[in-house]
A and B are shown apart, each in its own frame.
Chain A
Amino acid sequence: MSATKNDFKAQTHKNTVRLAVWTGAWVVSMALAAFGPKFVWNENKTLSVLAILLNVSMGIMMILANRTLIKGMDELQRKIQIDAMAISLGVGVVGGLAYSLLDTTNVIPWDAEISFLVVLISVTYMIGIFVNQKRYL
């Protein structure tokens, strides 16, 4: 019994830590790619491209780590994640395109930024996780 216990809990913990590490690396590489050209390497295009390639590489590792984490979850945990992802994807597509339309039709005076979409998807995902966790308590 304890072997299974240690396997499941230890593996989940390991997968979570791995995802946190790659997410941290991705955020740092994003900051480097965003601020490096202005503050570190004076708009050197080669270094900017390298920084962006590094950011994409970190992002791919983060995606793979997230997939590993979800594959290692039990069936209820996976269901909760998939339900939340379905909602956040739908809201992201519908909300993101509607926001873009508000911009292209000049209903709003400012530009539609991609950061809005990221925040919308993140908030919707977190709400989805919270609601589904409560449902199965």
Chain B
Amino acid sequence: MKNRLKVLRAERDFTQGDLADALGVSRQTVNAIEKGKFDPSLPLAFKIASLFGHSIEEIFQYEN
């Protein structure tokens, strides 16, 4: 799954640590999601979408 997390984070001048803190997860998890190595659960995806004020589809794109 592709995502725009890194771009959105950079736009708000957040570090990975800042975002991890805001989401209540580890920095490693934010890094793994950004790199597409780990797909977040639906609740975490909603949390991310809510934090950035976007819909899930605007942040995450499914790819076969």
Q: Are these two chains actual partners, yes or no?
A: yes
Question: Given that A76-B29, A77-B29 are known contacts, is A136 also in contact with B22, CB under 8 Å in the complex?
Answer: no
Q: Is the CB of A4 within 8 A of B32?
A: no
Which chain B residue shows the least CB distance to A74?
B25
Contact partner of A8 among B18, B21, B32, CB < 8 A?
B21
The smallest beta-carbon distance between B25 and chain A, in angstroms, is 4
Q: Number of A interface residues, CB 8 Å?
A: 16
Q: Is the CB of A8 within 8 A of B24?
A: yes
Interface bracket on B: 10 to 19
Which chain B residues border A79 with CB–CB below 8 Å? 38
Q: Is the CB of B29 within 8 A of A1?
A: no
**Chain B interface SS verdict (over half):** helix
Question: Given that A136-B32, A137-B31 are known contacts, is A75 also in contact with B23, CB under 8 Å in the complex?
Answer: no
Which chain B residue shows the least CB distance to A4?
B24
The smallest beta-carbon distance between B7 and chain A, in angstroms, is 20
Q: Is the CB of B26 within 8 A of A1?
A: no
The smallest beta-carbon distance between B59 and chain A, in angstroms, is 17
Interface check A45, CB cutoff 8 A: no
**Per-position contact with A for B13-52: 1 when CB-CB < 8 Å, else 0?**
0000010111111101101100001101100100000000
Residues of A within 8 A of B (CB): 1-2, 4-5, 7-9, 74-77, 79, 133, 135-137
